[in-house]
Amino acid sequence: MQQKLMQPQSRRLVIALVFSILWTVIQYSSGNGWEGIYLVLFVLATLLFRPVVPMLLVFFIAIVLLFISPNVDTLFQLKSAYRKAAKSPGLTVNEIVRPGSGKQVLAKQVLQMLALIEKHDLQEYSLSKQIRQNNMFIQRITESAWPIRQVANSPYQLRLNTEKPISEQCQLLGQQEDISLDYCR
């Protein structure tokens, strides 16, 4: 007996189900629960009327590029910067050499870290485990706090408020909305 292959409609639904589950997991892990549900329903509805693989692949890649990565925000910031530079090129050169320039593009948490470093006149600092897991935070605080350096064994530790201090002997020196500065010896 010859085995019966899946009907094209059934195959489309199975592929749609697999990609929808994958998409939902990605959205929930990114903190976008409602968007994940909405887009899954949209994909499923669309799949009933269109060829599955090419459309789903294009849709999946477009959504990842547009909503999960920072590409869209970066493009808008670049467009704004180019317009400002074209209107007044001298201003752009002055902005580059001015101390503290570029702070307007830093993430809120990085601005809070920088404020704590400056307020307590630190000469060095260390970052908590959760902050070190975010490459953007590491890069931006290193750039913006320079010449103050990150030192792994510094007694001054920046941490997220959701994290506990590394030791019970740590003393809270300062706190912002999302970031705390501890002195740990």
Q: What is the pLDDT of residues 44-99, one digit of tens each?
A: 666 666 665 666 676 677 666 666 656 566 767 777 777 777 777 666 666 666 66
**Beta strands 124-127 and 149-150: pairing type?**
parallel
Q: Which residue has the higher pLDDT, 21 or 37?
A: 21
pLDDT, residue 1, reads 47
Do 58 and 114 lie in one domain? The reply is no
Does the pLDDT at position 2 exceed 50?
no
Q: Give the domain extent around 65.
A: 8-69
Distances (CA, A) of 71 to 18, 27, 68, 152: 26, 17, 9, 32
Say if residue 30 is in the same domain as residue 52: yes
Question: What is the DSSP secondary-structure string of 112-159?
Answer: HHHHHHHHTT-SEEEE-HHHHT-HHHHHHHHHHHTTSEE-TT-SEEEE
107 and 179 housed in the same domain: yes
